[in-house]
Chains A and B, each alone.
Chain A
Amino acid sequence: GAGVSQSPSNKVTEKGKDVELRCDPISGHTALYWYRQRLGQGLEFLIYFQGNSAPDKSGLPSDRFSAERTGESVSTLTIQRTQQEDSAVYLCASSLGRGVPLHFGNGTRLTVT
């Protein structure tokens, strides 16, 4: 596609429910990143995929968070048993490879009530 696409754009869920967020990167981009941005804060790294290599999961805040990516296509970020502290905008970015410019999607705004 022309840009990074994320869905849904907004998600409201009840505490304790599971949610799944989707990211469709720019075609041909081998690298994919997930970041979290709490209200008024900077970007917090969550997870990085590069091609078929093992993902770098060092930023995932707890074992309730997981992400998958099949090859160089769509990625899903799953948050289990959501907590109010999970409320944030979840941003996905992709790039052609390592160390080259990132392109961000518009994010998914998650609200946990």
Chain B
Amino acid sequence: GIQVEQSPPDLILQEGANSTLRCNFSDSVNNLQWFHQNPWGQLINLFYIPSGTKQNGRLSATTVATERYSLLYISSSQTTDSGVYFCAVHTSGGSYIPTFGRGTSLIVHP
């Protein structure tokens, strides 16, 4: 099956810093989602981004499907950004079951 790798596995920032999280995948995908799992365990949709670039406030994401990666940018990070960021992909091969990466754990210090 498809392999989804996220990097870095862990990230520690000071409030106000910017960061880039990466999601690489091993096969063609129909779509890709980014999620934020907050410290209470809730999984929150950030972006549904099979290709192109989207922005939502301080967050933006870019997916380059032909090169099999997606990037999540966090600017001017805040302590509320702490948590784990997951990407999930649906392959083009017919399976509609999203495959998740292992996540990037982000801690933002005040």
* CA gap between A35 and B94 in the complex, in Å: 20
Stretch at the interface among A21-29, A41-49, A60-68: A41-49
Contacts of A45 in B (CB 8 A): 97-99
Interface residues on A, range: 20 to 34
* CA gap between A43 and B84 in the complex, in Å: 12
Contacts of A43 in B (CB 8 A): 86, 88, 100
Q: A42-B103, A43-B86 are in contact. Are A101 and B97 (CB under 8 A)?
A: no
Whether, in the assembled complex, A14 has its beta carbon less than 8 Å from a beta carbon of chain B, the answer is no
**Is there an interface contact between B97 and A42, defined as CB atoms closer than 8 Å?**
no
**Is there an interface contact between B30 and A99, defined as CB atoms closer than 8 Å?**
yes
Q: How many residues of B contact A (CB 8 A)?
A: 20
Q: A99-B31, A101-B33 are in contact. Are A107 and B86 (CB under 8 A)?
A: no
Contacts of A106 in B (CB 8 A): 41-42
Whether, in the assembled complex, B18 has its beta carbon less than 8 Å from a beta carbon of chain A, the answer is no
**Is there an interface contact between B102 and A42, defined as CB atoms closer than 8 Å?**
yes
Point out residues on A near B: beta carbons under 8 Å: 31, 33, 35, 41-43, 45, 48, 50, 56, 59, 89, 91, 93, 98-104, 106-107, 109
Point out residues on B near A: beta carbons under 8 Å: 30-31, 33, 35, 41-43, 45, 48, 86, 88, 90, 96-103
Question: Other than the known A41-B102, A43-B88, A103-B45, what 19 A-B pairs have Cβ atoms closer than 8 Å?
Answer: A35-B100, A42-B100, A42-B101, A42-B102, A45-B97, A45-B98, A45-B99, A48-B96, A50-B96, A56-B97, A93-B43, A98-B96, A101-B33, A101-B45, A101-B48, A104-B42, A104-B43, A106-B42, A109-B41
